[in-house]
């Protein structure tokens, strides 16, 4: 570490103090450790930016149009109606996760390998339709939120739960 001496004080260019020297009367601030997920991976609790949301929505529209016109030539995807529910894109706009489902059916897990095979074609179509510096790599995941919503709806329609809900509404009045 290079130090410059001026008068009675020592200036350290990088703003760091040597480990053994602490200014008298000043507490040393400690940095908190970044949050980690289970498994030791780092995660960011940061919300997506407006640009991420806008680009994700544009990618969703392009992919929905391709799936709606049945433009895929993969034998496993011929005449298969795929619904794109959401696209989450990374902060660098280089990786996008596409959440897909088949409305009224629960066999989307069987179609994921075919979608992964079609990813290069879909990426080229996204690049052709959108003016981005880099076309994002597409990864596909099954969207289970609709299945979960149907499960919760079935629970709420259960006669025992409906009776309990009606009893709690009667108590409020």
Which of 93-97, 126-130, 153-157, 160-164 is predicted least confidently? 160-164
Q: What are phi and psi of 97, to 5 degrees?
A: -105, 120
The mean pLDDT value for 99-126 works out to 89
Place of tokens 């130090």: 3
Examine the domain organization and report whether 138 and 158 are in the same domain.
no
Residues 6+ apart with CB under 8 A from 160: none
**pLDDT on residue 118:** 92
Contact call for residues 13 and 1 (beta carbons, < 8 A):
no
Examine the domain organization and report whether 132 and 60 are in the same domain.
yes
pLDDT band, very low/low/confident/very high, at 20 (cuts 50, 70, 90): low
Per-residue exposure over 105-136, b if at least 16 CB sit within 10 Å of its own CB, e if not: eeebeebeebbeebeeebbebbeebeeeeebb
Range of the domain at 151: 147-173
Examine the domain organization and report whether 98 and 133 are in the same domain.
yes
Examine the domain organization and report whether 107 and 156 are in the same domain.
no
Q: Among candidates 89, 78, 75, which has minimal Cα distance to 123?
A: 89
Q: Is 39 exposed, middle or buried (0-12, 13-18, 19+ CB in 10 A)?
A: exposed
**pLDDT on residue 106:** 74
CA dist 85 and 119 (Å) reads 17
Examine the domain organization and report whether 56 and 137 are in the same domain.
yes
Examine the domain organization and report whether 89 and 115 are in the same domain.
yes
Domain count of the chain?
A: 2
pLDDT tens-digit map of 107-118: 888 889 999 999
31 lies in a domain?
no
Q: And the tokens for 37?
A: 């997920």
**Share of the chain residues as helix, strand and coil, in percent rounded to the nearest 5:** 40, 15, 45
pLDDT tens-digit map of 63-74: 999 998 888 888
Angle formed at CA 168 by CA 152 and CA 162, multiple of 5 degrees? 40
């Amino acid at each position: 570490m290079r130090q410059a001496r001026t008068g009675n004080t020592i200036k350290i260019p990088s703003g760091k103090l040597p480990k053994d020297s602490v200014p008298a009367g000043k507490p040393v601030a400690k940095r908190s450790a970044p949050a980690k997920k289970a498994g030791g991976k780092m995660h960011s609790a940061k919300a997506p930016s407006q640009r991420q949301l806008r680009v994700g929505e544009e990618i969703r529209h392009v992919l929905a149009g391709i799936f709606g016109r049945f433009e895929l030539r993969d034998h496993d995807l011929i005449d298969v109606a795929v619904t794109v529910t959401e696209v989450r894109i990374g902060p660098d706009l280089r990786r996008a996760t596409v959440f897909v489902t088949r409305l009224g059916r629960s066999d989307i897990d069987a179609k994921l390998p075919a979608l992964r095979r079609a990813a290069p074609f879909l990426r080229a179509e996204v690049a052709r339709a959108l003016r981005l510096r880099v076309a994002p790599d597409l990864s596909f995941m099954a969207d289970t939120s609709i299945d979960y919503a149907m499960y919760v709806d079935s629970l709420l329609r259960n006669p025992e739960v409906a009776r309990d809900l009606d009893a709690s509404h009667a108590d409020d009045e």
